[in-house]
Amino acid sequence: MSIHFNLRHLHLFETVVASGSFSRAAETLGMSQPAVSMQIRQLETDLDTTLFERPQRQRLTAAGQELLQHARILLAQARVADEALDALRGTGGTGGAGDEAAGAARGFRGLLHLGVVSTAHYFAPRLMHAFHQRHPDVRLKLTVAKRSEVLAMLNEHRLDLAISGYPPSEADLEATSFARHPHCIVAHPSHPLVGRRGLDWADLRDEHFIFREAGSATRQFLEHLLQQQSIQVRAGLELAGNETIKQAVMCGMGISFLSAHTFQVELEAGRMALLDVRGMPKHIDWCFVQRRDTQLGGVNAAFRQFVIDEGALYAACRST
């Protein structure tokens, strides 16, 4: 059987799946819902298969799930090819090394879509802004999500680039460290332990700890450190998200272990304080993450090199 579809059909199909409905896909694509439905029906006819389960058409069939995997790979490769060609447009070149240099000299164009874990969004806009100043024709898109969601988007070819706090264990993903990621213990400025020098972890044993939700990278890091110290602390409260935890700390509800990126403004304003615990801050690495099976080109390759070369400067923050 010969397969009849084009990239436009694949893009429409992937948009329907990603948006979760035909109507939202129509809004995203600037089309009418009947037009989207008609093109999906045409794609099913061309492929001689059913892609969505009837009657609601909200779930994919086995054939639809198979096509989605290949569609995302093909669309990702098409983006890479388009970016590489876009870097050469206007140079009159044929793809040689001199043409690549000329393309870089006049600046890259295309879409830079970066996915980051929630903690990285405190510095990611600065990073993207600095890159955009050098390449003003680049369009920017930033997706902020949980670590598991960001890595899933990479694996599913919905993202080409990501920044995460822990190197992924997935064999299909490649991580490159580019900056240190400090974590500290914070408290309300009037807390009795604020100002005491050289605190031990044992001094925190009876304090009310405000924990991040289970499964978060920050929670995993803290549990690892507590295990190293062979102590248990009082879990006074468990909250989801850095912003909620900061509000609880500033209300005097307890102390917490947070990424230093999250509380820079509050620290400067005197609304939170660092506890001077021996061995703190503790660090993990910020990593630039990409798929192993996709060679980055054009704007994506340029941004990766920018992050590796200069990312540490834009990710720097106060932690003592």
Is the entire prediction scored with pTM above 0.75? no
What pLDDT is attached to residue 106?
55
Q: Which of 239, 320, 313 is nearest to 279 (CA)?
A: 320
Structure tokens belonging to residue 26: 């129509």
Write out the residue range of the structural domain in which residue 5 sits.
Answer: 1-106
H or E, element range at 313: helix 298-314
- End of a domain among 74, 106, 138? 106
Q: Give the other-Cβ count within 10 Å of 76's Cβ.
A: 18
CB atoms within 10 A of CB 139: 11
Does residue 172 belong to any structural domain of this protein? no
CATH at residue 199: 3.40.190.10
Domain assignment of residue 139, yes or no: no
Collapsed DSSP state (helix, strand, coil) of residue 82: helix
213, HSE (Cβ side, Cα atoms, 13 Å): 9
| Alpha-carbon Rg for the chain in angstroms | 24
| SS3 labels along 273-293 | EECCECCCCEEEEEEEEEECC
- Print pLDDT tens along the chain (320 aa): 455 568 888 888 888 888 888 888 888 888 888 888 888 888 888 888 898 888 777 788 888 888 888 888 788 777 767 766 765 654 444 444 444 444 454 568 888 999 999 899 999 999 999 999 999 999 999 999 988 899 998 988 888 899 998 777 777 899 999 999 999 999 999 999 999 999 999 999 889 999 998 878 888 889 989 888 888 888 778 998 899 999 999 999 999 999 999 999 999 999 999 999 999 999 999 999 999 888 888 899 999 999 999 999 999 999 98
Is there a domain that residue 315 lies in?
no
CA separation for the pair 125, 285 (Å, rounded): 19
End-to-end CA, the chain: 65
Locus of tokens 């909200």: 58
Q: What pLDDT is stored for residue 86 in this prediction? A: 67
H-run or E-run covering 35: helix 33-47
Q: Are residues 101 and 14 in the same domain?
A: yes
pLDDT given at position 83: 66
Three-class secondary structure of residue 63 per DSSP: helix
In a domain, 317, yes or no: no
Task: Give the type of residue at 43.
Answer: L
Q: Within this chain, do residues 98 and 197 fall inside the same structural domain, yes or no? A: no
Q: Is 148 part of a structural domain of the chain?
A: no
Between the CA of residue 94 and those of 90, 101, 310, what are the distances in Å?
Answer: 11, 12, 31
Same domain as 100, residue 7: yes
In the listed set 106, 128, 150, which residue is the last one of a domain according to the structure?
Answer: 106
Contacts of 1 (CB under 8 A, 6+ apart): 48
**Among the three residues 91, 106, 121, which one is the final residue of a domain in this structure?**
106
Domain count, the chain: 2
Query: In this structure, is residue 291 part of a structural domain?
Result: no
121 in a domain, yes or no?
no
Q: How far, in Å, CA of 166 to CA of 140, rounded?
A: 24
Q: Residue 27's domain is classified under what CATH number?
A: 1.10.10.10
Angle at 131 between CA 312 and CA 93, to 5 degrees: 125
Instruction: Flag whether 154 is in a domain.
Output: no
